Homo-oligomer: A and B are copies of this chain.
Amino acid sequence: MPPKKNDISFFFNPRSIAVIGASPIPGKLSYVILENLKKGGFLGAIYPVNPKYKFINEKRCYSSIAEIGSDIDIAVIALPAHVVAESLKSAGKKVKGAIIVSSGFKEMGDEGIKLEQDIKEIAEKNRIRVMGPNCLGIYDTISNVDTFFIPRDRIGRPDKGGISIISQSGSFAGTIMDELAYEGIGVARVISYGNRVDVGETDCLEFLTDDDATKVVALYIESIDDGRRFIDAASRCTRKKPVIAVKVGRRDAGVHAARSHTGAMTGRYEIYSAAFKKAGIIEVNGYEELKDACRVLNVYSLAKAKRVLIITDGGGIGVRIADACDNSGLEVTGLSEEIKKSLSSKLPPFCSVGNPIDLTGSVTDEYYITALEEGLKDGFDIAIVTVLWGPPQLSEELVDKLKGAIQRHNTPIIICSPGGKFTKKINSIFEGKGMPVFSTPESAVRAATILAS
């Protein structure tokens, strides 16, 4: 099968990587990249390139790409902006793809735009696919490629998992990756494509559509290069896996002093929002929602519909969750008479048998399981189980009991557990067992809303 026109899959399974501008000096970007390729366990060939050195950390350093005996899949270029084009030129046709991590291009104004144009021309001539410039590149748990030049003690690297992230912004990609690593949520591929001189959101989306390692795609979008192509690609992807997107930069540059331009700003944003909808993309509103979406989609598939069962041991929090569900378009419908009757016979009289089911402060671990098992018989699409840990009869064993209930049902069960020290300890037990736990009513409802999208 001939490679597809926009195929960029070699970026995600390279046999060889050259690091152009390699340095033995700790702290330099290229040093961090070499370290991360080693630490990450990349098994292909690594070629440091820099005419200044013969060896870098006891590894042979090449004076130029020409000097390397074989073809190169990826050249990671970490050179000052004004010499990047020259380096690409000297690579000739020996390199399939380049990841240009250097900054100092379009974002710096006219001169930078010119430098970027030069890169574009040389790349097209030499048929080199280019990611960047001004990007972090790729963090990949399948190929173990890691060109993110931020040390691992500053930005954690997630384990292997099913989420892939496509982000124009490097800082956004790095920060969300760091959070996922901290929460023990795995990723497949994280891509920061920066100034998009060539490879952009749609190329990446097309690759991830057919990537078996990717179960969920998260997009951070500042702008889209080719709307029609994007919608086609995204429509194909959303038929295979959930795609979530956050659009930032809702305001036009330059209008911030002119509040009267609000109409225009909104209009522009709404075009993106309509495009997402058309393509079946789940739009989320900002960083918090994106994080909540990653957490819940890491574990659960999308729900069939919007009916939510709420179980709580604190009336006030239960009511707040019901409010937030209403506001988000979820349906907190009542229980059937049959289930009410059966719950009333199995729970003590002080429990409130409605939706929410309020088990009150006299709750025990068992009441939760009874409420969940009986309540779910009413055909709900999602359950939100809120546990306040004040009631002294509640024990850590509830964690395993809830895990058992989750395993017995296809219905996604979202745990909401807000509170301080004791609660945080329990929440880390939930997380250790792979159960996503939400620490505010609002974040639990955001997660439910994502699933009901």
| A347 close to B (CB within 8 Å) | no
Q: Tell me, yes or no, whether A291 is within 8 Å of chain B by CB.
A: yes
Query: Do A156 and B314 touch across chains, with their CB atoms under 8 A apart?
Result: no
Whether A168 is near chain B, meaning CB under 8 Å from some CB there, is yes
Tell whether A167 is near chain B: CB-to-CB under 8 Å. Answer: yes
- In the docked arrangement, what's the CA distance between A122 and B134, Å? 76
A151 contact set on B, CB distance < 8 A: 392
Given A154-B390, A156-B421, A322-B251, answer yes or no on A171-B317 (Cβ-Cβ < 8 Å).
Answer: yes
Across the two chains, which residue of chain B brings its CB closest to A182? B420
Q: Counting CB contacts under 8 A, is A142 at the interface?
A: no
CB of A206 within 8 A of chain B? no
Q: Contact partner of A355 among B170, B183, B256, B350, CB < 8 A?
A: B256
Once the chains bind, are B320 and A155 in contact (CB under 8 Å)?
A: no
The digit string for A217-240, where 1 denotes a CB below 8 A from any CB of B, is 000101000000000000000000
**A window 317-338: CB within 8 A of B:** 317, 319-320, 322-324, 326-327, 331-334
With an 8 A cutoff between CB atoms, is A388 at the interface?
Answer: yes
Copies, count: 2
Assess whether A250 is in contact with B326, with CB atoms less than 8 Å apart. yes
Query: Does A360 have its Cβ within 8 Å of any Cβ on chain B?
Result: yes
Cα distance A390–B333 in the bound complex, in angstroms:
46
A451 CA / B311 CA spacing, docked (Å): 34
Cα distance, A315 to B171, chains bound together (Å): 7
The closest CB in chain B to the CB of A262 belongs to B326
Residues of B within 8 A of A423 (CB): 178
Chain B's nearest CB lies how many Å from the CB of A224?
15
Contact with B along A77-103 (1 / 0, CB 8 A): 000000000000000000000000001
**What is the CB-to-nearest-CB distance from A168 to chain B, in angstroms, rounded to a whole number?**
7
Indicate which residue in B331, B332, B390 contacts A174 across the interface (CB closer than 8 Å). B390
Cβ of A253 to closest chain B Cβ, rounded Å: 9
* Segment at the B interface, from A8-16, A52-60, A273-281, A436-444: A436-444
- A1 in contact (CB, < 8 A): no
B251 adjacent to A288 (CB under 8 Å): no
For A369-407 the 0/1 string (1 means CB < 8 A from B) is: 000000000000000000011111000000000000000
Also in contact, A323 and B390, with CB within 8 A (given A171-B361, A182-B424, A257-B333): no
Tell me if A153 counts as interface (CB < 8 A to partner B). yes
A57 to chain B, nearest CB (A): 19
User: Which residues of A come within 8 Å of B, CB atoms?
Assistant: 27, 103-104, 107-108, 150-151, 153-156, 167-172, 174-175, 178-183, 220, 222, 246, 248-251, 256-257, 259, 265, 286-288, 291, 313-317, 319-320, 322-324, 326-327, 331-334, 349-350, 352, 355, 360-362, 388-392, 418-424, 440-443
Can you list 9 A-B contacts (CB < 8 A)?
A103-B362, A156-B421, A175-B314, A175-B317, A178-B422, A180-B420, A182-B421, A250-B323, A286-B441
User: A171-B315, A181-B421 known; 6 other A-B pairs, CB under 8 Å?
Assistant: A154-B392, A170-B361, A171-B313, A249-B323, A256-B322, A256-B333
